[in-house]
């Protein structure tokens, strides 16, 4: 059977950082794909062809089958052909993973490493840190109210709060947070000239790899010092758990150690910042919704789940087929590369009634923004809890909330969200 090839505009859009920045036109392309070629090959000049997976059901089916769809074989985040070749040349065993974290691992390593910290991120344990998070939320709100009625919520508020929370849990002191924020933004959004290290557009794979290596070396340097400290002086933080963890009776090798810190330090904030800012944007646009959620007694769960669906901060992950597999009526061949496009899955008309409406009252919100299966987001309960606490602390303290200018999105194919959200507000 011949493989269905996607139209050039669709294939070009899903690999283009600017398309994720522009957002609405991208959704038109994805909606077309879901309706016409839900599982089709995207061919682009600079990338190896890959299957674009646009339907919720297919994303779920692939995610729940890590035996046949691996993370470790090819890049887990879209990388162009030159970038992959350079990364392979620059990595041990030519595996192409500049970082080896949970995300790049498969069985049996993946579970061994995941279990080292999994219990930390379960709701039961998070109760222990809830008061601490609330304190950070209160300080964040105080700081916002001090701005006197206008601020850029994305830059001044949302970018800092989840960062402070995850750094607190990890054990990184507040004075090092600006460095962590900058490094994460460079790691996730190296294509956005407003965020990358050189402040210039990245035009070649060499530039991108050089920039990433620089950022990774900085992270490794920082966490090397932290590890030495926590081995000598253990504390009640995740850094201590990671620094002293044993796998197969041995301390974690340096590469995996650095990868572990990096995934915890980075996955936990730009993502939650994006969904938090997205929630505030929708409330700023809709006074009735704002009035409802401003009430101290309102249940925020639906608002939070819908904001996560709506923003879909992690826009894709890649998988590679280990063997031939039938899925969604197509035959995927061993070695094929697949893009799980969560942005598309979260607007799937078969799963979400009126998917392009922001609706906190969805009866059963099956958003797939945290992925699914063995690699499902380790921090999902923390992300929800952080958002709930911030909304509980912030909204009752506001009398009004409006947009004060045009929001702007990050230009990135991987982690997206708002980089600017100018708002006007009155304190209650
Ligand atoms: C709204 C916020 C967040 C979103 C949308 C998000 C999304 C995701 C997604 C899509 C994955 C991959 C799932 C898969 O492959 O099936 C993932 C993995 C992961 N996330 Fe999150 N995440 C968020 C917040 C957090 C937070 C707060 C942490 C805190 C530590 C975190 C830590 C991780 C880790 C460690 C992984 C790798 C899990 C594995 O491979 O086993 N994330 N996340």
Determine contact, residues 369/348, Cβ cutoff 8 Å.
no
The mean predicted confidence, pLDDT, of the chain is 93
Determine contact, residues 369/309, Cβ cutoff 8 Å.
yes
Element containing residue 138 per DSSP (H, E):
helix 123-146
Longest dimension (CA), the chain: 64
* Ligand 1, atom nearest to 387 Cα: 1
Is the C-beta atom of 188 inside 6 A of ligand 1?
no
What's the pTM value of the predicted model, to 2 decimals?
A: 0.94
Is the C-beta atom of 381 inside 6 A of ligand 1?
no
Which residues partner with 420 through β-bridges?
408
* Bond into 108 cis (ω within 30): yes
Sequence-distant (6+) residues with CB within 8 A of 269 are 159, 162, 163, 165, 166, 181, 184
| 427 confidence band (pLDDT: 50, 70, 90) | very high
Residue nearest atom 21 in ligand 1 by C-alpha distance: 377
Determine contact, residues 259/113, Cβ cutoff 8 Å.
no
Give distance in angstroms: CA of 146 to centre of ligand 1.
32
* Ligand 1, atom nearest to 271 Cα: 2
Residue nearest atom 32 in ligand 1 by C-alpha distance: 379
* Ligand 1, atom nearest to 169 Cα: 30
Residue nearest atom 42 in ligand 1 by C-alpha distance: 379
Residue nearest atom 17 in ligand 1 by C-alpha distance: 377
* Percent of the chain with pLDDT strictly greater than 70: 96
Give distance in angstroms: CA of 260 to centre of ligand 1.
13
* Ligand 1, atom nearest to 384 Cα: 1
Residue nearest atom 39 in ligand 1 by C-alpha distance: 375
| 188 confidence band (pLDDT: 50, 70, 90) | low
Task: Give the model confidence (pLDDT) of 191-201 as tens digits.
Answer: 555 655 455 55
Tell me which residue of 111, 103, 49 sits closest to 71, measured CA to CA.
Answer: 103
Is the C-beta atom of 133 inside 6 A of ligand 1?
no
């Amino acid at each position: 059977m011949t493989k269905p090839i996607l139209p050039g505009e669709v294939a070009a859009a899903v690999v283009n950082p600017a398309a994720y920045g522009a957002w609405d036109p991208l959704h038109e392309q994805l909606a077309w794909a879901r309706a016409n070629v839900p599982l089709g090959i995207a061919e682009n000049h600079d990338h190896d062809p890959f299957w674009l997976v646009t339907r919720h059901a297919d994303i779920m089916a692939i995610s729940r089958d890590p035996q046949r769809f691996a993370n470790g074989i090819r890049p887990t985040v879209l990388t162009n052909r030159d970038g992959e070749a350079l990364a392979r040349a620059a990595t041990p065993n030519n595996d192409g993973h500049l970082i080896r974290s949970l995300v790049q691992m498969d069985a049996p390593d993946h579970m061994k490493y995941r279990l080292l910290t999994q219990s930390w991120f379960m709701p039961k344990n998070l109760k222990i840190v809830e008061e601490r998070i609330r304190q950070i939320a209160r300080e964040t709100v105080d700081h916002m109210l001090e701005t006197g009625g206008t601020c850029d919520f994305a830059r001044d508020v949302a970018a800092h709060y989840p960062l402070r929370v995850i750094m607190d849990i990890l054990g990184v002191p507040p004075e090092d947070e600006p460095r962590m924020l900058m490094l994460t933004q460079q790691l996730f959004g190296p294509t956005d000239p407003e965020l990358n290290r050189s402040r210039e557009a990245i035009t070649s794979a060499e530039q991108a790899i050089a920039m990433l290596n620089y950022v990774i070396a900085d992270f490794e340097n920082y966490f090397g010092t932290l590890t030495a400290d926590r081995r000598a002086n253990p504390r009640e933080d995740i850094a201590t758990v990671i620094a002293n963890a044993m796998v197969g009776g041995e301390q974690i090798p340096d590469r995996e150690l650095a990868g572990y810190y990096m995934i915890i330090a980075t996955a936990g904030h730009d993502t939650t910042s994006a969904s938090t800012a997205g929630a505030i944007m929708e409330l700023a646009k809709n006074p009735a919704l704002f009035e409802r959620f401003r009430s101290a007694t309102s249940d925020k769960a639906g608002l939070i789940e819908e904001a996560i669906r709506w923003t879909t901060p992690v826009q894709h992950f890649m998988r590679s087929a280990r063997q031939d597999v039938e899925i969604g009526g197509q035959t995927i061949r061993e070695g094929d590369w697949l893009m799980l496009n969560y942005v598309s899955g979260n607007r799937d008309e078969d799963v979400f009634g009126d998917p392009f409406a922001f609706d906190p009252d969805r009866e059963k919100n099956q958003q797939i923004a945290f992925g699914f299966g063995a690699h499902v987001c380790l921090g999902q309960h923390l992300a929800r809890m952080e958002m709930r606490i911030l909304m509980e602390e912030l909204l009752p303290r506001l009398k009004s909330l409006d947009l004060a200018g045009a929001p702007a999105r990050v230009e990135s194919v991987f982690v997206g969200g708002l980089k600017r959200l100018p708002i006007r507000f009155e304190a209650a």
